[in-house]
Chain A
Amino acid sequence: AQKVTQAQTEISVVEKEDVTLDCVYETRDTTYYLFWYKQPPSGELVFLIRRNSFDEQNEISGRYSWNFQKSTSSFNFTITASQVVDSAVYFCALSGVSSNTGKLIFGQGTTLQVKP
């Protein structure tokens, strides 16, 4: 079975603080993809990143960075110098190749509130 766990339900920080959102996944697939999506208050799902299971290189995109560690089945997301506009629900998701359909399994989401 595939599962994604985001243990942090809500996080509140003050602007300019760094914040890390945790994601732990379970899968029996050796090939899989991991994703992060942002859901702002307007409700749409905004794609942030996709990683495949063979690429453990950390990635940085502006203030965003991702730390993928297969040894701990984690794919954590860090926002550096957070801003009020970062306030949203963030979802981690998993897609295993065995299903061959691309079905995404989402975590419960972490609500990030960035206060001015």
Chain B
Amino acid sequence: EPEVTQTPSHQVTQMGQEVILRCVPISNHLYFYWYRQILGQKVEFLVSFYNNEISEKSEIFDDQFSVERPDGSNFTLKIRSTKLEDSAMYFCASGTAPDTQYFGPGTRLTVL
């Protein structure tokens, strides 16, 4: 069964460094999402992406964040200058329609 994959599973970085989190959505999906979960807290929406552009973003998704679908298969989340508070689990999700989302296994980001 097709599934969403994410790499790396765990990323450790120094504060101020740029990180790129990668996701490969399910191949025929058109809707893409990033969510984050700070340890012990709820899952929070970051951004949705459809038709090669951002369709909605949350207040968390400030100028330090960007998303890209560079080659038709990958979907990336870039954080330009990481802060300690960016430490979290980041989940990618994709779907054929807005009402169905399949989640990847997550990338745990640790900012030191």
Binding site for B on A (CB under 8 A): 33, 37, 43-45, 47, 50, 52, 91, 93, 95, 97, 99-109
Contacts and interface: CB of A to CB of B under 8 A. Distances in A.
Interface of B: 31, 33, 35, 41-45, 48, 50, 55-56, 58, 89, 91, 95, 97-106, 108
B100 A50 contact: yes
B103 A102 contact: no
A101 B56 contact: yes
A-B residue pairs, 8 tightest by C-beta: A102-B98, A101-B48, A101-B56, A45-B103, A106-B43, A101-B55, A44-B105, A108-B42
A93 B35 CA distance: 13
Contact of B42 (A43, A47, A99, A106): A106
Given A44-B105, A47-B102, A102-B98, 4 more contacts: A44-B104, A97-B98, A101-B48, A106-B42
A104 B3 CA distance: 19
Nearest to A31: B99
Nearest to A107: B42
A103 B89 contact: no
B103 A43 contact: no
A91 B42 contact: yes
Contacts of A100: 55, 98
A103 B45 contact: yes
Given A91-B42, A108-B42, A103 B48 contact: yes
21 contacts: A33-B99, A44-B104, A45-B91, A45-B106, A50-B100, A95-B98, A101-B31, A101-B98, A102-B33, A102-B48, A102-B95, A102-B100, A103-B33, A103-B58, A104-B43, A104-B45, A104-B101, A106-B42, A106-B43, A107-B42, A109-B42
